[in-house]
Structure 1
């Protein structure tokens, strides 16, 4: 059984960063959301589900392309941010639902397509998440799920880890975990175990928009849930000192004042019989 004790499987760290997550996600997630819609093109007549939608990067893109989108997340603060985005853009064909991706509040055979970008990968029980996606899809419907690849395939994550280690040498280093969806073979096995047919795992590397070191750390520290978990372990004074060391490290490492980063994801695509 695919279970996870990852602290990011709880809503608390996502609520902590919800206010600033959108700006970070716009930078990191937008290229991958566009890629997801290339892999699984939207149909104007479709009813589509976005599980673990966050602040709605993908939801807002799809809303212009399909009949309706149902966006679900377990973070109330993320959903509040999504509502604000929808209102600002005058998007009216999105229905927002607070809920658990492992127990979807929808009937069987409801949606033409289903997505979970960088969300299901954190579920405490991924197989339940995959099975729920399968259940709510209409026959012949497609699901696309994405997960980050290991650290060695991401200069974004390498830069983040190195910055933290520069200020906190004893901080644990990220390690590859073959028991997660960063293992493409396991990814395929789990989708097939949930019932999906013709499963394909795509490896996708994206160059991110160039960014200054200061803006990079602003986005990662204010909008990144892993950094939020690190921050709450320290007093404000301690965190100010850590921040200063990290900024010094980044500006000395990237003397050109520009960071050219990339990161890699796996996209699993499967069809319901």
Structure 2
């Protein structure tokens, strides 16, 4: 999964928003940075370039992601870590980052409470979360193709998880429950560019839990072929682009 994720999804979905978060990071001029749910290092690499004098610790729950990320962004210290039980000292960082990871935390207020604990007084928490599925051109096309291929039985991972934490009011309440104060919530829309619709389909089908959900089906190859064909019909042949919307949140630990 990490290889497929890094090959087909990271360049298209995550690097554009990583550049955005890295620029916001540079404006804050942090000295000690912790990244949660770092994946294969798309944001990590951008932050290392944007704030070369900062010390950066990149963490992820998945050991395979940590191994992959440490190869791609060796300038950071990589650690396997559960966001709900961070293995770091109190007040050890002046900035905590998380790109498209908060929606995967089983207990978000608990994870945010850990963020508060490891932040120095007045430290900042900078993270983003995808908007509704309809606001993501690639994701919406994939889910529509999947539902066409499996009427009434398509996996709902995309709308339920990556795009299931899109209400800023809910996010604000979760932050407040953990003792963090919201500074801003800004909607950002960027374009993703992929080498082909087939590449994006492959990324979703092999680099996300959708692949595992389909693996035991006797017609799995037919489903994959149908989804790839449908996405190509929807998005076009050759290189493709689509708009993607997310909300960028900045919060702080009150002093």
| Same fold? TM cut 0.5 | yes
Query: Would you identify which runs of 4 or more consecutive aligned residues in structure 1 move more than 4 Å?
Result: 42-45, 172-177, 255-258
Q: CA RMSD in A?
A: 2.3
| Stretch moving more, 204-213 or 117-126 | 204-213
Question: In the aligned structure 1, how far is the partner of 2:54 from the partner of 2:232?
Answer: 47
Q: How far 1:194 moved relative to its partner?
A: 1.5
| Stretch moving more, 184-193 or 39-48 | 39-48
Question: How does the TM-score come out when normalised to structure 2?
Answer: 0.88
Partner of 2:84: 102
CA 168–84 in structure 1, closer or farther in 2 if over 3 Å, else same:
same
Q: How far 1:243 moved relative to its partner?
A: 1.6
Q: How far 1:211 moved relative to its partner?
A: 3.8
Unpaired runs of 5+ residues, structure 2, are: none
Question: How does the TM-score come out when normalised to structure 1?
Answer: 0.82
Question: In the aligned structure 1, how far is the partner of 2:37 from the partner of 2:29?
Answer: 22
> Which one of the candidate residues 224, 238, 251 is aligned to 2:232?
251
Does residue 60 (structure 1) correspond to residue 45 (structure 2)? The answer is yes
> Which one of the candidate residues 53, 60, 80 is aligned to 2:67?
80
* Equivalent pairs, count: 248
Q: How far 1:184 moved relative to its partner?
A: 0.8
Question: In the aligned structure 2, how far is the partner of 1:176 from the partner of 1:26?
Answer: 23
Post-superposition Cα deviations, 1:113-161, rounded to whole Å, max 9, x if no partner, equal 0011111221110001111111101111110122111122222221011
Secondary structure of residue in 1 paired with 2:113: helix
Q: How far 1:253 moved relative to its partner?
A: 3.1
Question: In the aligned structure 2, how far is the partner of 1:249 from the partner of 1:40?
Answer: 39
Question: In the aligned structure 2, how far is the partner of 1:150 from the partner of 1:127?
Answer: 21
Q: How far 1:37 moved relative to its partner?
A: 2.1
Question: In the aligned structure 2, how far is the partner of 1:198 from the partner of 1:268?
Answer: 7
Partner of 1:4: none
Does residue 158 (structure 1) correspond to residue 135 (structure 2)? The answer is no
Q: How far 1:170 moved relative to its partner?
A: 2.0
CA 199–176 in structure 1, closer or farther in 2 if over 3 Å, else same:
farther
> Which one of the candidate residues 152, 174, 179 is aligned to 1:190?
174
Unpaired runs of 5+ residues, structure 1, are: 1-16
CA 120–42 in structure 1, closer or farther in 2 if over 3 Å, else same:
same
Partner of 1:127: 109
> Which one of the candidate residues 211, 214, 218 is aligned to 1:228?
211
Secondary structure of residue in 2 paired with 1:69: strand
Does residue 206 (structure 1) correspond to residue 187 (structure 2)? The answer is no
